[in-house]
């Protein structure tokens, strides 16, 4: 999230919508063809979740189109996986140091020979992404009362004092977000240090946000400006405050005898945790349309309110639609079962299993 005091909202990093269409075709020999088409704001596709690339073995084409005065990037890609070849669980290139930050979706295809034919199974599970540990603070702050009323009030109707009150509340949320990132970074990079080292740094950060007169000064500086410039003024002041809080946290760690190398490890771990959350936030604006095409007839699936399409030529399909909120703090599973009867089987492989790398 980015603190946006000018608009008095907490907006997503990737607020632009990305449509992720994916068609997965499972053949009778258990080879798999994956075809993708992603469409959305260029910066979102370039800097958010990992996208298929030539470096990760995909054929990729990129183009742009203009829609509603906005330039959108269209990325199409395709890859075939031979029978027995491991299916990807992420679209990150091999060796990408940020692989653990990206969307993870272990995928399996397997078959089972029975008396009434060959059963084909497709299963993908989107691994839960941590979300509530940070979002909790925003929900708790604006759950009810005067702050909720102000948050829901049109921006143009807010007085400067009301904006300042909202700004202070949002700053408190940002402070808790920084603390969550800092605690995770401390646990990751400085686990050998006693807990009070972190607790002192935590308190130093909180103290920055407890300055009651800070936002009164913001009002004094921003109120004389034209309405169009006030938002930028509030945004600038917010960024200054966030930077001060982070600097106080780092400074307090340094004062407790941590070496430059230890501080650098903490910084890297902090940015890593922050980046993970930003990607999770960004994925909330992604719309997924996953079509699974299976040999024979689909006899069971867990799609919601969707009907199986009989395509002919011994192929049937089912579509899954969901957004990136579906795997926040919970797994999102896609499961499809099809059957090829004995008279239809052209030598399909029995009892073959394969899964993600």
- In order of 29, 85, 109, 110, the CA distances from 82 in angstroms are 9, 5, 12, 13
Mapped onto helix, strand or coil, the DSSP state of residue 28 is coil
- pLDDT of amino acid 12: 35
- pLDDT of amino acid 102: 97
- pLDDT of amino acid 352: 59
Beta bridge partners of 301: 336
- pLDDT of amino acid 305: 80
* Token reading at 229: 């410039």
Sheet holding 297-301, edge to edge: 297-301, 332-340, 117-126, 107-114, 353-354
Burial 68-107 (b: 16+ CB within 10 A, else e): eeeebbbbbbebebeeeeebbbbbbbeebeeeebbbbbbb
Which one, of 109, 102, 149, lies nearest residue 126 by Cα? 102
- pLDDT of amino acid 353: 66
The residues spanned by each domain of the chain are 131-281
- pLDDT of amino acid 84: 92
Indicate the pairing of strand 297-301 with strand 332-340.
antiparallel
* Token reading at 78: 């395709």
* 284/249 Cα distance (integer angstroms): 30
**In angstroms, what is the C-alpha Rg of the chain?**
25
- pLDDT of amino acid 226: 82
- pLDDT of amino acid 14: 38
Which one, of 41, 34, 52, 36, lies nearest residue 14 by Cα? 41
Q: H or E element: which one contains 238?
A: helix 227-255
Q: H or E element: which one contains 206?
A: helix 195-209
- pLDDT of amino acid 346: 53
Which one, of 195, 168, 201, lies nearest residue 182 by Cα? 201
**Whether the Cβ atoms of residue 352 and residue 110 lie closer than 8 Å to each other:** yes
Instruction: Please give the backbone phi and psi of residue 264, each rounded to the nearest 5 degrees, phi first.
Output: -65, -40
- pLDDT of amino acid 145: 83
* 19/322 Cα distance (integer angstroms): 11
Q: What averages of pLDDT result for each successive group of 10 residues across the chain (357 residues)?
A: 31 62 98 96 83 91 86 94 95 91 98 97 98 94 87 83 83 93 98 97 93 75 81 83 95 97 98 96 95 98 92 96 97 98 64 62
- pLDDT of amino acid 191: 94
Indicate the pairing of strand 286-295 with strand 18-26.
parallel
Indicate the pairing of strand 315-323 with strand 59-67.
unpaired
- pLDDT of amino acid 212: 64
């Amino acid at each position: 999230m980015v603190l946006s005091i000018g608009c008095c909202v907490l907006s997503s990093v990737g607020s632009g919508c990305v449509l992720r269409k994916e068609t997965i075709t499972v053949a009778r020999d258990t080879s798999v063809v994956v075809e993708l088409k992603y469409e959305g704001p260029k910066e979102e596709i370039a800097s958010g979740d990992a996208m298929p690339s030539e470096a990760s073995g995909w054929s990729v084409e990129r183009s742009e189109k203009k829609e509603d005065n906005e330039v959108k990037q269209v990325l199409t890609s395709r890859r075939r996986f031979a029978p027995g070849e491991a299916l990807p669980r992420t679209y990150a290139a091999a060796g990408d140091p940020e692989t653990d930050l990206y969307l993870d979706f272990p995928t399996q295809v397997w078959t089972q020979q029975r008396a009434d034919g060959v059963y084909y199974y497709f299963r993908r599970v989107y691994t839960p992404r941590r979300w509530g540990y940070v979002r909790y603070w925003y929900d708790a702050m604006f759950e009810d009362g005067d702050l909720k009323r102000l948050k829901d009030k049109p921006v143009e109707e807010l007085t400067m004092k009301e904006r300042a009150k909202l700004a202070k509340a949002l700053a408190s949320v940002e402070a808790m977000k920084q603390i969550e990132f800092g605690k995770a970074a401390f646990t990751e990079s400085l686990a050998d240090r006693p807990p009070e080292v972190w607790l002192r740094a935590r308190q130093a950060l909180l103290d920055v946000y407890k300055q009651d007169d800070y936002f009164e000064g913001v009002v004094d500086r921003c109120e004389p400006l034209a309405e169009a410039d006030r938002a930028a003024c509030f945004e600038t002041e917010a960024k200054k405050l966030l930077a001060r809080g982070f600097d106080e946290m780092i400074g307090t760690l340094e004062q407790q005898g941590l070496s430059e190398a230890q501080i650098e490890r903490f910084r890297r771990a902090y940015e890593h945790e922050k980046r993970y959350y930003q990607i999770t936030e960004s994925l909330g604006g992604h719309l997924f349309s996953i079509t699974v095409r299976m040999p024979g007839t689909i006899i069971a699936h867990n799609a919601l309110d969707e009907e199986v399409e009989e395509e002919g030529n011994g192929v049937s399909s089912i579509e899954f639609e969901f957004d990136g909120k579906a795997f926040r703090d919970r797994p999102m599973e896609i499961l499809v079962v099809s059957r090829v009867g004995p008279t239809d089987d052209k030598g399909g492989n029995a009892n073959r299993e394969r899964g993600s790398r």
